[in-house]
Structure 1
C-alpha cells in the first residue's frame, strides 16, 4: 500500500514538472529569417542562352603549355597554403565523428578502491556496530570498499539537437571542401598569371635588346654624320642617352624576372630556382574561344557559391540547435558491477552484485538570458550567411560580365596594336634613310625609335593581358578546381 502511495506521489510530481515544462515551451522565442535571393539574369549581356560552358573543362585540358601544367601539378601537391587548408578539412571531418558520437550512449568501465572510517555515534556507525557479518562478527574498521563494473549514460535526443549538430558539422565539412576547391582555382589562376607575366618579361627583354642594336647602329651613323659636319654633338649625345636609358631598362626587367620566378617558386612550394618556360612563341599563342554558358550555371560551377550555400544551410541547423536549448533535456544513467569491502567477496554473487538505473529531465527555468543570447546570435549568423550568399552570387555574375567584356576588348586592342607596331617598325628604317639624306631631323629618328619600342612593349603587355583575361574568365566561370 505504501509503495502504491509513493508511486502516485512520484507520478504527480512528474506531471507537474511536465506541465511546467510545456508552459515554458510556449515562451520559446521564434524568429523568421528571410530566404536568400538567388535569382540571376537569364543571360549575360549581348550573349545567347547557350548552355555550353568552358568551366566544365578540366584545367589540364584548358592549358596547353606543358611547362605551365607541370608547375600547377607540383603546386597542388606542395603549396603550403593549400596543405594548411587540407588540414582544416581533416579537422572538420573529425568534428563530424565527434558530433555523431554525442547522440550515442557513452559506456565506460570503472574500478575503484576506497577506505572509510565513520564515528560510532552516527547513523552509519551505529548500523555497522550492530550488524553481524557471516564470517566476521563486525564490519572491518576502517571500512574498505572495492568495486568494478560498467557505467553508461545517454542523452535522449528528443528535440534532434544532437543530430542537427552532426548535420551542421557535415555541412561545414562540405563547405570546407568547397573552400579548398575555390583555393585551387585561385592557385591555378595565380600561377598561370605569374607564368604569363614571366613570358611577357622575357619578350620585353628581347625587344629592348633588339631596339638597342638598332639604336647602337643609329649612334654609329650619327657619329659619322658628326665627323662629316652634317650634324651636331647634341644629336650624338641624345642618341647616347637613349642607348643608356634602354640599357638601364634591361636591368629593371631582369630584376622583375627574378621576382616573378621567385613568386612562382613560392606558389609551387620550393626554393628559388630557374623556371622552365618557352617564351619564343609568346606573341603567337592561340587563345581558344570561351563559352560562358548561362548565369544560373554559376550556382553549381563556382566553389565559393557552393561554399556559401552550405554555410547558410549549416547556420539554419545551428539556429535549431540553439532553440533546442530552451527545451528540457532527458537523460538516462545506468551501471552494473560488483562491490564488497574485501576483494575475496567480489566474486560472491548475487550478494556482491550492484546496479542502478536513473532517468532525469532538466529544463531551464530561471535566468535564461544566456540561452536567449546564444539563440539571437545564431539567428544573426544565419542572416549574415544569407547576405554573404547573395553577395557571392552577385560578385560572381559581375566578375564574369566584366571579364567577358575585357576579353572581347583586348582582342580588338591587340589586333590594332599589331597594326601600330607594323607601321612604326617600318618607320624606323624610313626615318634613318631620311636623316641620311638630310630630309629629316635627328629628333624625328629618336622619336620614331621610342614610339616603336613603346608600341612593341604595349603589344607584349596586351598579349599578356589577353592571356590573363582568358584565365580569369575561366576562373570566374567556376573552372580550374576539377
Structure 2
C-alpha cells in the first residue's frame, strides 16, 4: 500500500500544460498574383487555358487588377531532386562548388556540431546501461584502546591465539554496479531526443550546403554580369570616342563649337571612371567567392560565353506538401519539435519515483595472503532505493513547465519555417517568370535605342542633328544595356535561389 501511494501520489499534483495555437493550413498548390502588363502579352494563354476560369474568378481578378498565375505542379517531378551537379552545367562553377564543399570553414564548424550531437547521443545511451566500476585499495588503521573499535579488537582473536595486528592493515578488491531502472522511459526518451537532435543537426548541415551552393552560384553569375558590364563600357567608350573625334573634326571645319567637344570628352571620362568602380566590384565579388571556397584572394576562373543567352534548368515546383520532405530546414524543425515533445515526457517522469539498484562484490582482508580466500574474504551487497520527490518539487515543476514552453516554441517555429518556405518558393518562382518577361521587353527597348544611336550619329554627321541628341541617345543605349545585364543577373539569381528554396543542392 505504501509503495502504491508513493507511485500514484506524485501524478495527482502534476501541473496542467498549455496547448499550441492552430497554425494556418498549407495551400494545395503554389500560386501567386502579379500585376498585369497592358498591351505587352508575354505568354498569351491558349483558348483552352483561357476558358478554364469561372466567371466569378474572372470578375474577382478584374476588380483587383491582378492576374493569377500558377506553376505546373507535378507529383512525380520536383527540381529539388536534381543534384547541383546536374542543375549547373558550367564546369568552372562546378569546380568552385566542389572546392567549397571541402574548404568552407562554416561547413567544417557544422561538422563539429554534428560530432558534438553524436557524443550527446552516446552519453544518453550510456545512462540507460548499468554503471560498472572496478577498483582496489589498501590502507592501515590504528583505533585507540579506549574507543569502541579498539576495545572490541583487544578482546577478539583472528584465530585461536592470534590477535588482530596493530596497526590493522586493510586490503580490498571489489566491483560495484549502480543501475537506475528506467521504469518511466525517462532515460530512453532522453536518448531518443538526443538522437533526433543529432539527425536535426545533420539536416541543418544539409540546409547550409544548399545555401552555400546557392551563394557560390549567385556570386559566380554576378561576376559574369560585371564582366559584361565592363565590355559594355568598353564598347560605349569606343563609340563615344568616335563621336569625340567627329566633334573635333566638325570644330576644325568650323561647323561646330568647343562645347560639343567638351561634352563628349566629359562623357568618355565619366565612363572610364565607371570602369574603375566596376573593377572594384569584381575584386570584391571574387574575394567573396574565394572566402566561400576557403582560400585566400586569387583570380576566379569563369566562362566567357554570352551572358544574355545563359539559361539554367527549367524549374518544377511540385506540390507544397513536398516541402516537408525536400527542405532540410523544415526537416530539422520537425525533428526539433519531436525532440521537444520527448523532453516534456522526460520532465514529467521526474515527478515519479526513481528505482536505483546498487550492488557490489569483492574481497576484503587485513592480510594480503588471505585476500582471495573464499568464502572467508568474500564480501557482497545488494540494495534497491525507491526515491520519490515530496518536499522540494518546485524545481521539478519549473523544469516541466519550461519544457512545455520550449515545446510550444518548437511548434510555432515549425509553423514559421513552413510558412517561410512556402513564401520563399512563391516569391522566387514569380521573380523568375517576371524577370524573364522583363528581359524580353528590355531587349526590344535596346534594339530601338541602338537604332536611334545609329540614326542620331548619321544625322549629326550630316549636320541635321545636334550633338546633344547623339549624346543622349548614346547614354540611353548604354544605360539600357547595363539594366538588361543587371536584370539578367537578377533573373539567374532568382532561379538559383528558387532552386535552393525548393530544397535543391543538398546532395
Compute the TM-score of the two structures, normalised by the length of structure 1.
Answer: 0.95
1:50 alignment counterpart:
74
- The aligned runs of 1:68-79 (5 Å cut-off) are 68-79=93-104
CA distance in 2, matches of 1:287, 1:58: 13
TM-aligned CA deviation for residue 31 of structure 1: 1.5
- The aligned runs of 1:349-360 (5 Å cut-off) are 349-360=374-385
TM-aligned CA deviation for residue 357 of structure 1: 0.7
Residue 450 of structure 2 corresponds to residue 425 of structure 1? yes
What's the CA shift string for 1:2-32, capped at 9, x where partnerless? xxxxxxxxxxxxx435424422221122315
TM-aligned CA deviation for residue 136 of structure 1: 6.0
Q: What SS does structure 2 have at the residue aligned with 1:133?
A: strand
Residue 229 of structure 2 corresponds to residue 243 of structure 1? no
Q: What SS does structure 2 have at the residue aligned with 1:110?
A: strand
Residue 73 of structure 2 corresponds to residue 87 of structure 1? no
- The aligned runs of 1:135-150 (5 Å cut-off) are 137-150=162-175
Residue 500 of structure 2 corresponds to residue 475 of structure 1? yes
Provide structure 1 residue ranges, at least 5 long, that are not aligned to the other structure: 1-14
1:22 alignment counterpart:
8
1:3 alignment counterpart:
none
- The number of equivalent residue pairs is 468
TM-aligned CA deviation for residue 171 of structure 1: 0.3
Q: 1:36, 1:389 within 8 Å by CA — same for their partners in 2?
A: no
Residue 25 of structure 2 corresponds to residue 39 of structure 1? yes
Q: 2:83, 2:505 within 8 Å by CA — same for their partners in 1?
A: yes
1:203 alignment counterpart:
228
What's the CA shift string for 1:97-153, capped at 9, x where partnerless? 111110101111110112222222222222111001127632122222110121111
Q: 2:87, 2:312 within 8 Å by CA — same for their partners in 1?
A: no
- The aligned runs of 1:28-427 (5 Å cut-off) are 28-34=14-20, 37=23, 39-45=25-31, 46-47=69-70, 48-51=72-75, 52-134=77-159, 137-427=162-452
* Higher deviation after alignment, 42-51 or 29-38: 29-38
TM-aligned CA deviation for residue 279 of structure 1: 2.9
Q: What SS does structure 1 have at the residue aligned with 2:159?
A: coil
* Higher deviation after alignment, 90-99 or 157-166: 90-99
TM-aligned CA deviation for residue 49 of structure 1: 4.1
Compute the TM-score of the two structures, normalised by the length of structure 2.
Answer: 0.90
What's the CA shift string for 1:69-123, capped at 9, x where partnerless? 1110110111000111011001111111111110101111110112222222222
Q: What SS does structure 2 have at the residue aligned with 1:26?
A: helix
* Higher deviation after alignment, 91-100 or 181-190: 91-100
CA spacing shift, 1:157–1:324, aligned 2, 3 Å:
same
TM-aligned CA deviation for residue 367 of structure 1: 1.8
TM-aligned CA deviation for residue 61 of structure 1: 0.5
Q: 2:121, 2:195 within 8 Å by CA — same for their partners in 1?
A: yes
TM-aligned CA deviation for residue 50 of structure 1: 2.5
CA distance in 2, matches of 1:97, 1:16: 37
Provide structure 2 residue ranges, at least 5 long, that are not aligned to the other structure: 32-68
